[in-house]
Amino acid sequence: MMGLIQQLQRRTPLGWLQLSHEKGRFVVAIAGIAFADVLMFMQLGFQSSLYDSNTRVNRSMLADIILLSPKALNLQNLSTFSRRRLLQAMDIPGVKTETGLYINTITWKNPQTRLNATVQVLGFDPDRPAFNLPQVNQQLNKIKLPDVVLFDRGARGKYAEVIAQLQQGKLVTTEVDRRTLTLAGTFFIGASFGADANLITSDQTFLRLFPRRDAASISLGLLRLQPGYDPHQVAVALRSHLPQDVRVLTAQEFVAFEENYWRTASPVGFVFGLGTAMAFVVGVVIVYQVLSTDVNAHLKEYATFKAMGYHNSYLLSVVFEEAIILAFLGFIPGAILPLGLYAIAAKATALPIYMTFTRALMVLTLTVIMCALSGAIATRRLQSADPADMF
């Protein structure tokens, strides 16, 4: 190992010298790689926010096992099933409590702008907490009153004045289908690709907002287990005990169920994945053009090295050295620029878009692969260089 390090220290940094000799081309190459990195960061950031924002409600539920209809696609397309399945689930050893959750979207008048907007309404019995959100559970007495709701302060849209009034303890009223609705407090879940805002209320208020909804048909069944019971084992017992008109998922599986919909069934997830792949290809093309031009410009010098007895492996290492230098130097601005772009996008869309160490490491790895791949393509001409043809 020490011998290899000493050999590298004695080695002339030919790749760096060639890159730094043509400063204009060097800067353009770094800018091109940074551009490809920014594209990958943005696509991966949007893709991550897609999964994160759309599973926040799922992850906030106070449940070990979730029952849902087999027809359910995602949180905005759940269908319903009979509430009796919750009572049947209580027959299984280990099931401690059950809570029925109603979910639907509704159009209301934005309390601030008075314009119509779509919000997602979550209704449950206030005596049986359904969410692992302290801000919600501390305000359950408020939603026991008819037509009173809690408002998601992470909503997308013009709600700043409304949120400010609610945080000062004031009540805000608005209209939903000619019914006056009172906003009595706030909580935080955040907007998603499926819903601009969330309202939490009692099951009774929910049923008043949706008069055609059958009280015996719920969207989700939330089951909590007694301490010491394995959710997976209880879920297996529930699947064999309950009829086929209900699906049983553990809390972890329910999050994966939602994420899988947006990854595979929704075109949005495919678009972001395709965008990342396109950014990678763009980066390969840019780096290839730079390295290919460099190889062609120095082909005679490479041929001279060959005539002096240098092997192809040495000359190829020079090109790969250039590729690795470009990868790391291009990554630096490519990782800094998205920090500002993430902040702008998060403010404009109210989505959780931010830099993570894992994503930075992933893009750095992709950048190195991108540059190495471009270097491998660019060395084809170099391998066939013959001193006899050059002079």
Residue 36 has what pLDDT? 87
**Average pLDDT in the 333-359 region?**
91
Residue 2 has what pLDDT? 60
Domain count within the chain:
2
Does one domain contain both 212 and 309?
Answer: no
d(CA 16, CA 20): 6
Residue 165 in domain = yes
pLDDT digits (tens, 9 = 90+) for 193-232: 888 889 999 999 999 999 988 999 999 999 999 999 999 9
Residue 74 in domain = yes
Residue 187 has pLDDT above 60, yes or no: yes
Backbone angles phi, psi at 255, to 5 degrees: -65, -45
- Expressed as residue numbers, the domain containing 362 is 13-53+268-385
pLDDT tier at 390, thresholds 50, 70, 90: low
Q: Residue 136 carries which DSSP code?
A: H
Q: Residue 265 carries which DSSP code?
A: I
Do the beta carbons of residue 120 and residue 152 sit within 8 Å? no
Does one domain contain both 273 and 379?
Answer: yes
Residue 386 has what pLDDT? 65
Residue 391 in domain = no
Residue 285 in domain = yes
Residue 313 has what pLDDT? 76
Does one domain contain both 107 and 222?
Answer: yes
Residue 8 has pLDDT above 70, yes or no: no
Name the H helices within the chain: 2-10, 14-21, 23-54, 56-60, 84-89, 134-137, 140-143, 160-167, 203-209, 231-241, 251-260, 267-297, 299-307, 312-349, 357-378, 380-383, 387-390
Does one domain contain both 113 and 220?
Answer: yes
Contact partners, residue 203, CB within 8 Å, separation at least 6: 100, 102, 123, 124, 125, 215
Contact partners, residue 176, CB within 8 Å, separation at least 6: 106, 107, 108, 109, 209
Does one domain contain both 82 and 223?
Answer: yes
d(CA 339, CA 357): 12
Residue 10 has what pLDDT? 63
Does one domain contain both 374 and 295?
Answer: yes
Residue 365 has what pLDDT? 92
pLDDT digits (tens, 9 = 90+) for 157-185: 889 899 999 989 899 999 887 888 999 99
pLDDT tier at 138, thresholds 50, 70, 90: very high
Does one domain contain both 20 and 130?
Answer: no
Which residue has better confidence, 300 or 252? 252
Residue 4 has pLDDT above 70, yes or no: no
Looking at every residue in the chain, the average pLDDT score rounds to: 87
Does one domain contain both 89 and 47?
Answer: no
**Of 332, 322, 319, 324, the residue nearest 368 (C-alpha):** 324
Does one domain contain both 206 and 272?
Answer: no
d(CA 353, CA 370): 25
Does one domain contain both 328 and 214?
Answer: no
pLDDT tier at 384, thresholds 50, 70, 90: low
pLDDT digits (tens, 9 = 90+) for 221-254: 999 999 999 999 999 999 999 999 999 999 999 9
Residue 13 has pLDDT above 60, yes or no: yes
Residue 333 has what pLDDT? 93
Residue 60 in domain = no
Residue 294 has pLDDT above 90, yes or no: no
pLDDT tier at 280, thresholds 50, 70, 90: confident
**Of 201, 223, 198, the residue nearest 210 (C-alpha):** 201
d(CA 280, CA 301): 31
**Average pLDDT in the 106-131 region?**
90
**Average pLDDT in the 58-86 region?**
93
Residue 41 has what pLDDT? 93
Does one domain contain both 227 and 301?
Answer: no
pLDDT digits (tens, 9 = 90+) for 39-50: 999 999 998 998
* Strand duo 179-187 + 148-152: pairing: parallel
Q: Helix 312-349 to helix 14-21 angle, to the nearest 10 degrees? A: 60
Residue 6 in domain = no
Residue 5 has what pLDDT? 55
SS3 66: strand
pLDDT digits (tens, 9 = 90+) for 304-343: 777 777 777 777 788 788 888 888 998 999 999 999 999 9
Contact partners, residue 17, CB within 8 Å, separation at least 6: none
**Average pLDDT in the 332-355 region?**
91
Residue 8 in domain = no
Percent residues over pLDDT 70 in the chain: 94
pLDDT tier at 16, thresholds 50, 70, 90: confident
Does one domain contain both 138 and 83?
Answer: yes
Write down the residue that tokens 């692992």 correspond to: 132
Residue 172 in domain = yes
